[in-house]
Amino acid sequence: MSNSRQRIRLFLVLIAFLALSQDGVRPHILATVSQLETSPLRSAPDLTEKAKPTSETLHLDSAPQEDGESKAAEQTLRNLFREAHFSEAILIAQNQLRSETLSVIYKEWLREQLPTLKLGLAWQFIRQGRCEDAQSYLEPAQKGNSSALALKGLGYCALKRRDSYAALDYLQHYVEKNPMDPESYILLAEAKESLGLMDEALQLTQKAQSLETLTDEERDELQHREQKITAKLDEVPAQGEISAGYFLLRFQIQENQNLVQGSLEILQNHVQNLVQNLGFEYPTNPIEVIFHRQDNFNRSTHGPEWSSGIYDGRMRIPVQPQQILDENLARVLRHELTHAMLSEQARHQFLPRWFQEGLAQFAECPQFCLSYRFAATSQRFLNPEAFEQSFQQLSDMEAQLAYRQSLYLILTLNRQYQGLSGLKQIIQQLPQLNVMSSDQILSQVGSDYRSLYTLASEGWTQQKSF
């Protein structure tokens, strides 16, 4: 970059900084980032998609010699299976099993196919982020001809609900049966990392790289992971660990011991706050929080340099040696905790970015940040699509604007309802939603994205404060 361009850039950043400061919102808070859409299990679509069974990769056994009626019954079942109507196929199969006219030999075959049908349905749920629904179909699917894939599903879902020991157990069994699936090593490495076994996590990542069947993209992703784990490994010798309430906190013993007690208190209180006032569910398993050495943070996360915290399935916060627990750090903790709980509430499905970041900022204050003081600014309201995608694609300036305006959208939404009732209703309904589009989540309060966007952008243009 040339010197003059550098100066212009610095100037623009300075302007942005001043504008933000005037609005009474700390720039560094705006710079926190959630990597939900790049969280461990989503970051390499190929690695995760390739190994997720579908009706094309699963198969039903060939049926024995049959009479005409059984042949027709089998055909019905195969058609449903091929079109991935697993739920209907299971119902039909159960009806056929009760039939008095179908042959015994056909029904015997049918009984053996049931686990495969259930496996298909289970993975359909998993692809929709519905591990809880998948669970009851994965258990019986272990008896079928694709039992390994049931183990993988069980391991994957255990990891999602942060039950690391169960995940380890299922995935180790899966790897024994299917040692050529690179994703299984990644999932196993994730479980090891949660258990603090970074050495083993590194070995697994290296082992996956030695598989001959890898694509270039998979190899890149694995190398990327190896670098990040190596960086985290550097911190391990000086790291302490404490388990308290809903949290498992890792920190630098020498440098950050002073932060532990107060941080845990802030986090515990904020869980109560989010549950009682915004309708969140309590975390089912401990949320991991890691205080990274500031100089190691970017190496460990590969997040943007301006980030002051990341949620990538774990809350990662960069801290300085002997840093004190001030309100700035408290806000970062509340912000990332909101991402963590929101991710769980949405069953790890992707939520529109404006909702995630708006709500995380809204929840930075102990009793929620309800006010927004407007400073004179001519920055336009971004177009509606910009709020739905990842802000990491935007320029720094636009990203910061997108953060502020996301908060503005949430505040506009909140103002339409008594107290916090609108937001609470939306959050309470999240676990039941299969599609998490802006329109879907807003339909829970009888609204839609177009109306909210219009209202917010008009307010912004008229510089209305809250």
Least separation, in Å, of the C-beta of 357 and Zn ion? 5
Distance CA 178, CA 150 (A): 12
Strands (E), 121-280: 239-244, 247-252
The smaller minimum CB distance to Zn ion, of residues 34 and 273, is found at 34
Per DSSP, the residues of 2-47 read: -HHHHHHHHHHHHHHHHHHHHTT--HHHHT-EE-GGGSTTTS-HHH
Of 204-212, 225-233, 300-308, 360-368, the segment contacting Zn ion by CB under 5 A is 360-368
Least separation, in Å, of the C-beta of 29 and Zn ion? 9
Least separation, in Å, of the C-beta of 230 and Zn ion? 26
The smaller minimum CB distance to Zn ion, of residues 146 and 343, is found at 343
Least separation, in Å, of the C-beta of 160 and Zn ion? 20
C-alpha triplet 127, 304, 265: angle, nearest 5°: 80
Least separation, in Å, of the C-beta of 445 and Zn ion? 23
Of 104-112, 290-298, 324-332, 359-367, the segment contacting Zn ion by CB under 5 A is 359-367
Of 253-261, 355-363, 416-424, 435-443, the segment contacting Zn ion by CB under 5 A is 355-363
Least separation, in Å, of the C-beta of 285 and Zn ion? 22
Tokens 């008594």 sit at which residue? 418
Residues in the interface with Zn ion (CB under 5 A) total 4
Least separation, in Å, of the C-beta of 360 and Zn ion? 4
Q: How far is CA 102 from CA 80, 202, 290, in A?
A: 19, 55, 60
Distance CA 123, CA 185 (A): 19
The residue among 276, 461, 311 whose CA lies nearest residue 374 is: 461
The smaller minimum CB distance to Zn ion, of residues 77 and 441, is found at 441
| Cα–chain center distance at 188 | 17
Beta bridge partners of 288: 248
Site for Zn ion in 4-33 (CB under 5 A): 32
Q: Which amino acid is at 345?
A: Q
Least separation, in Å, of the C-beta of 364 and Zn ion? 10
Per DSSP, the residues of 417-439 read: SSTTHHHHHHHHHGGG-S---HH
For position 35 contacting Zn ion by CB under 5 A, the verdict is no
The smaller minimum CB distance to Zn ion, of residues 120 and 358, is found at 358
Sheet holding 239-244, edge to edge: 33-34, 310-311, 315-319, 287-293, 247-252, 239-244
What b/e string do you get for 119-149 counting C-beta neighbours within 10 Å, with b at 16 or more? bbbbbbbbeebbbebbbebbeebbebbbbbb
Burial of 13 per CB tally in 10 Å (0-12, 13-18, 19+): middle
The smaller minimum CB distance to Zn ion, of residues 249 and 315, is found at 315
Site for Zn ion in 266-295 (CB under 5 A): none
Q: Which residue in the set 188, 248, 360, 456 belongs to the binding site for Zn ion (CB under 5 A)?
A: 360
Beta bridge partners of 248: 243, 288
Q: Which amino acid is at 10?
A: L
Q: Three-state DSSP class for 103?
A: coil
The smaller minimum CB distance to Zn ion, of residues 163 and 357, is found at 357
The smaller minimum CB distance to Zn ion, of residues 34 and 39, is found at 34
Of 8-16, 76-84, 165-173, 354-362, the segment contacting Zn ion by CB under 5 A is 354-362
For position 34 contacting Zn ion by CB under 5 A, the verdict is yes
CB 256 within 8 A of CB 319: yes
Least separation, in Å, of the C-beta of 28 and Zn ion? 12
For position 164 contacting Zn ion by CB under 5 A, the verdict is no
Binding mask 299-338 for Zn ion (x = CB under 5 A): ----------------------------------------
Tokens 């774990």 sit at which residue? 314
The smaller minimum CB distance to Zn ion, of residues 264 and 315, is found at 315
CB 424 within 8 A of CB 414: no
Least separation, in Å, of the C-beta of 335 and Zn ion? 6
Least separation, in Å, of the C-beta of 341 and Zn ion? 13
Least separation, in Å, of the C-beta of 339 and Zn ion? 6
Tokens 């289970």 sit at which residue? 122
Site for Zn ion in 44-73 (CB under 5 A): none
The smaller minimum CB distance to Zn ion, of residues 182 and 352, is found at 352
Residues within the interface to Zn ion (CB under 5 A): 32, 34, 357, 360
